Structure 1
């Protein structure tokens, strides 16, 4: 069950990966078309304004079509075969569902309490999905319909039909059954969802009324759920769906940028719902404090080696918002430190909210610049400047607290190991250690309480095949990984996540141990039943693509 939940989390993350570029385009487009910032050159009707309006219109693609993206993303994580065809089936079935809803509301809308002639928006409960006027079910509706299609695909795609019906096999057969399933789904949605919308509006009021206290609780829970891989399920309804604002915080913020750039009203008043994205401040200001505490508490003879590991992972956290290597290092060697980290992250977000720093701040500086600093610097730059002293103060707080706890309880953080190589750890290695401890058994030849230095090094996220050696090196690495997984016939499916390959195998006994995967250029591997996680690093997409090619998919 947990493996399926984690695969769902990976699927939810796939559309979010597009936000980095889309946010840059929307941020720049908003900046360059705002007359209050750029002056007369950006006035409506000028060549400058018209040219940037064209670019900006393309930048809205991701935010305008989020439900479609989530409908297509789910098969990537959950379809057991032919994921590409399942994506097509999910897309056409989801569009069919919305056409059915539109037709039902056109005929019986007043009786169901829905005015289909109203303008789309939060008050009406309507939205445009792929050009279809339908109920605004957001991410939840898209995922529900996509889940039905994935379930049908996994069971029906290989159905053998009589030869004279062969043209209806495969994806066509799945769509035929899905088409029939969409009718009752649409009818149920038309009856039930308007009532759900009423409850969601009430929930939005409760969350908005919680104010700063709500931000504190949300950020703490988001960080605290990371070890279990469930944080995606917490923030996704808020960031990408209607839990707090129509369309989700990301989409609503992107749409509101032109108005926010043109107003001098405090952002905390203009868009208070955006405050829940304050999870990124600990990535920008907290992680450098943790890294500094690791460095000063390390043995002097090991500091040079440790510095070469800490600099790249800290920059990755600050710039990109990817915190896995350093967070899972102290989670691995000293779990109490992670609880302290979650508490400090929540306190940092609370202070930012109290001084009025509000915006989309869930990622690193690159995302923050795209959604906040670049488009809103002219009208709200002074508000954002308040983040600097608050953030730097918390960098110092993180450093002092972590240094004290490390020395007081003699936590064996990197550079303080009794023996072995100075290393950082990955999420997979942390989970492996937990599983081994629960089972009171060994894992990969090491004890359940593996000493620091016995697991693979996680540095900048690069691998032996990603430091400029090119495509051939990655192909060779994928080939070696496939051999260690027990060969082509032993692999059931493969899913690429942010830094890992999630593989399902037929016979776990054929899978090599962790050390063999590290020798092949990976950062390690963890086996749990028929589920294997191969930690590759930030080149996982390229290696995964070549692995899929070797599997003939």
Structure 2
């Protein structure tokens, strides 16, 4: 079950990879179309405004079509075969589901307790999906339908039909089955989802009233679940669905940027719910403190060597918001130290919230700048100056706490190992060691990963998230340990039963593709 949950969490991350660029476009577009910042140049009737508005509206593509993206994104990670065909099947059947649901509500809405005559949006519980007026089931509905289609695809795609029915095989067969499955699913949705919406509204009220304590619990859980690969499942409904605000925090914040930019009121008073997207403060303020503690506590003769490791992974965290490389440097040698990190991260986010600083602060500097600092600096620069002061104070706290604990308990963080081989090596270092061409080195790296996972016959399935290659194996005793994966150039390996997560870095999509190509190769000499 844990393997399936982890695989689901990794698959959900596929559409999220698009958010960084989309958020940047929206942030820059909002900046250049906000009259309070740009003055008369950004007047709605100006050519400047109209040109940038074209760019801005294009940037909304991702956030305005989130359900569709999750529908087609889930099969990429979870379909066992023919992922592209499964994505097409999921999209078609998702649209069929909403056509069924829309027609039922238009004809018998009062029977289901739905006033289908209302305008979409607001508290109506209705929305438009691909020009279909339907119930607003958000990401949950998209994942539900996509999950059903993935099940049908994995089970029936290879069904052999009589030759005279051959034209109905493959994707057509899945569409045929799914078409009739979607009818009762739509009936159940019409009965159940309006009641779910009432429950979600009540939960939304509870979360809002939890205030700072709610923020602390949310951020702590988001950090502490990272080793299990379950943090995506925790934050996704908050950020991309209707748990705290309509449409999710990312979409809601971006939609209201012009009003927020024009207001001089505190950010928390404007959008208090945005405290739940503050998981990124530890990425830009906490990680430098950890890295500095690693450097200071390292053996003097090893400091120069680990500096080459710490600089790139720290910058990756600060600018891109990807923390796994540095967090996994101490997670395996001292899991309790990771717990301390999660406690500090939750405390920092809570202090920021109490100071009135909220917003889309889930990623790194690039995301924060585009969705917060650049468009809002005009009227909120004092809050961001306070944010910097608080953050730097916590950088010092992280450094002092980690330095004390590392030295007190002799934690074998990078540079303190007794065994020279128990260390992190970057992929670049590995390639240099091999003194091979880039293509040859990459192929060798993939082969060594496969060897470390017990070979081709030991692999059950493969997915990935932002930085990790997630592999389920048949026999975990055939696999190598964390030290092996570090020695070949990976950042390490997290193991949970038969589930192995090889820490690769931001190039993991290409590594996964090459890994799957190697698995599918018929040339045994490559294995």
TM over 0.5: yes
Contact 1:325 1:458 in 2 (8 A): no
Q: Provide the secondary structure at the position in 2 that maps to 1:353.
A: helix
Give, in angstroms, the shift of residue 12 of structure 1. 1.6
Match of 2:324 in 1: 324
Give, in angstroms, the shift of residue 312 of structure 1. 1.3
Contact 2:425 2:490 in 1 (8 A): no
Match of 1:420 in 2: 419
Unaligned runs of 5+ in 2: 522-527
Q: Provide the secondary structure at the position in 2 that maps to 1:501.
A: strand
Distance 1:22 1:289 in 2: 30
Match of 2:431 in 1: 464
Match of 1:58 in 2: 58
Contact 1:224 1:339 in 2 (8 A): yes
Q: Could you list the per-position Cα deviations for residues 397-419 of structure 1 after superposition, in whole angstroms to 9, with x for gaps in the alignment?
A: 111111222222222222222x2
State yes or no: 1:546 paired with 2:520: no
Match of 1:298 in 2: 298
Considering Cα pairs closer than 8 Å and 6+ residues apart, tell me whether 1 or 2 has the greater RCO: 2
Distance 2:451 2:442 in 1: 14
Change (3 A) 1:552 1:414: closer
Q: TM-score, normalised by structure 2?
A: 0.92
State yes or no: 1:15 paired with 2:15: yes
Match of 2:250 in 1: 250
Q: Could you list the per-position Cα deviations for residues 269-298 of structure 1 after superposition, in whole angstroms to 9, with x for gaps in the alignment?
A: 111111111111111111111111122222
Matches within 5 A, 1:232-243: 232-243=232-243
Distance 1:26 1:249 in 2: 14
Contact 2:325 2:505 in 1 (8 A): no
Match of 1:497 in 2: 465
Contact 1:287 1:317 in 2 (8 A): yes
Distance 1:211 1:7 in 2: 32
Distance 2:294 2:450 in 1: 36
Contact 1:517 1:524 in 2 (8 A): yes
Match of 1:392 in 2: 392
Give, in angstroms, the shift of residue 381 of structure 1. 2.0
Out of 218-227 and 392-401, give the one that drifted further. 218-227
Contact 1:312 1:459 in 2 (8 A): no
Count of paired positions: 520
Change (3 A) 1:259 1:493: same
Match of 1:444 in 2: none
Q: Could you list the per-position Cα deviations for residues 412-456 of structure 1 after superposition, in whole angstroms to 9, with x for gaps in the alignment?
A: 222222x222xxxxxxxxxxxxxxxxxxxxxxxxxxxxxxx43x6
Q: Could you list the per-position Cα deviations for residues 237-280 of structure 1 after superposition, in whole angstroms to 9, with x for gaps in the alignment?
A: 11111111111111111111122122222211111111111111
Match of 1:429 in 2: none
Give, in angstroms, the shift of residue 110 of structure 1. 2.3
Contact 2:23 2:371 in 1 (8 A): yes
Distance 2:140 2:458 in 1: 35
Change (3 A) 1:287 1:507: closer
Q: 2:505 aligns with which of 529, 532, 537?
A: 537
State yes or no: 1:141 paired with 2:141: yes
Distance 1:529 1:267 in 2: 44
Match of 2:353 in 1: 353
Contact 1:309 1:460 in 2 (8 A): no
Distance 2:287 2:11 in 1: 26
Q: Provide the secondary structure at the position in 2 that maps to 1:39.
A: helix
Unaligned runs of 5+ in 1: 422-452
Change (3 A) 1:489 1:218: closer
Q: Could you list the per-position Cα deviations for residues 369-419 of structure 1 after superposition, in whole angstroms to 9, with x for gaps in the alignment?
A: 1111111112222221110110011111111111222222222222222x2
State yes or no: 1:27 paired with 2:27: yes
Contact 1:463 1:537 in 2 (8 A): no
Contact 1:80 1:493 in 2 (8 A): yes
- What CA RMSD, in Å, does the superposition of the two structures yield over aligned residues? 2.6
Contact 2:253 2:360 in 1 (8 A): yes
Distance 2:415 2:119 in 1: 61
Q: Provide the secondary structure at the position in 2 that maps to 1:537.
A: coil
Match of 2:167 in 1: 167
